[in-house]
Amino acid sequence: MTTFGERLKELRKERNLSQKALAKQVAINFTYLSKIENERLDFAQFPSEELICKLALALAADEDELLILARKVPPKIKERVLARPDAFRILADLDDSTLNSLIVQVGGKQSSKQRSGGQG
């Protein structure tokens, strides 16, 4: 599985941005960006949701993808979980096969990992 730092570096390189250029766009020090990309952070130094959203915007990337890779829950998902904890308790107990079938039934799209039978 790709890490948050690896994906960030990949996106930055796809857009031909240096660490210094991206860091300047989101108002952080490029050495901090280097630590993020190379997974050399202590938990206390891990980027905030606000910074992750700024990075997503600067890189024209999917905000939810970056938040999830950073092991943070996107606000839209968090709101739904808090509004309907009963439904999410049920979903959390489903095995992957049942959950995949349910996603297909409601018209969602499975990730390639889900289609191949991986955890997800």
Q: Tell me which residues of the chain have a pLDDT lower than 70.
A: 110-120
pLDDT digits (tens, 9 = 90+) for 8-17: 999 999 999 9
Residues 55 and 80 in one domain: no
Residues 8 and 65 in one domain: yes
Residues 57 and 10 in one domain: yes
Structural domain total, the chain? 2
The count of C-alpha atoms lying within 13 angstroms of the C-alpha of 4, restricted to the half-sphere facing its C-beta, is: 26
Which pLDDT score is estimated for 119? Answer: 45
Which pLDDT score is estimated for 45? Answer: 84
Residues 88 and 53 in one domain: no
Instruction: Kindly state whether residue 84 falls inside one of the protein's structural domains.
Output: yes
Which pLDDT score is estimated for 107? Answer: 85
Instruction: Kindly state whether residue 117 falls inside one of the protein's structural domains.
Output: no
pTM of the model: 0.79
Output phi, psi for 83, to 5 deg.
Answer: -75, -30
Residues 12 and 39 in one domain: yes
Residues 19 and 60 in one domain: yes
74-83 long-range contacts, CB within 8 A, separation 24+: 75/49
Domain of residue 60: give its range.
4-69
